[in-house]
């Protein structure tokens, strides 16, 4: 992803393109594969992979601005404790969740077949369907 696209993502998220935000955006979106992370895990990865120092609040605010703008999906995982992950893949898809390594792995939407879906309650409509398959060794 080139710098122009990074700047567009930041601006469309309502963010001023500071050096730190550009680095965060580049780290998140300049990759070939989907990236799943928590704010805390992203903070650790950024401190290892970049020379800049990031305030946790900067990371948190940047991630949530990207989510609000539709550049990231929020994925709530319920295990021993509820954990909020973010996903760079914003298309409809499903996940494996490895309960031992706390890793999310994408499942293509076409690999899950729904034969029957219950009708939504009156006044509501189904926004999307998401399948989580928990894994263990």
The pLDDT of residue 45 is: 94
Paired sense of beta strands 93-98 and 132-135, if any: parallel
The pLDDT of residue 4 is: 85
Q: For the stretch 22-32, what's the b/e string if a residue is b when 16 or more beta carbons lie within 10 angstroms of its beta carbon?
A: bbbbbbbbeee
Interatomic CA distance for residues 48 and 52, integer angstroms: 10
The pLDDT of residue 102 is: 87
The pLDDT of residue 109 is: 87
The pLDDT of residue 123 is: 95
Question: Who contacts 133 (Cβ-Cβ below 8 Å, separation ≥6)?
Answer: 94, 95, 96, 97, 107
Residues of the chain short of pLDDT 70, as ranges, are none
Interatomic CA distance for residues 84 and 39, integer angstroms: 8
The pLDDT of residue 71 is: 94
């Amino acid at each position: 992803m080139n710098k122009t696209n990074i700047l567009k993502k930041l601006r469309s998220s309502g963010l001023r393109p500071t050096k730190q935000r550009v680095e965060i955006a580049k780290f998140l979106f300049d990759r070939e594969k989907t990236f799943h992370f928590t704010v805390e895990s992203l903070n650790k990865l950024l401190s290892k992979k970049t020379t800049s120092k990031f305030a946790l609040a900067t990371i948190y605010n940047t991630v949530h601005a990207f989510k609000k703008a539709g550049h990231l999906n929020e994925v709530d995982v319920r295990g021993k404790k509820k954990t909020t992950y973010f996903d760079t893949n914003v298309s409809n898809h499903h996940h494996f969740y490895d309960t031992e390594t706390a890793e999310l792995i994408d499942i293509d939407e076409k690999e899950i077949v729904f034969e029957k879906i219950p009708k939504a309650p009156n006044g509501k409509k189904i926004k999307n369907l998401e399948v989580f398959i928990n894994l263990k060794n």
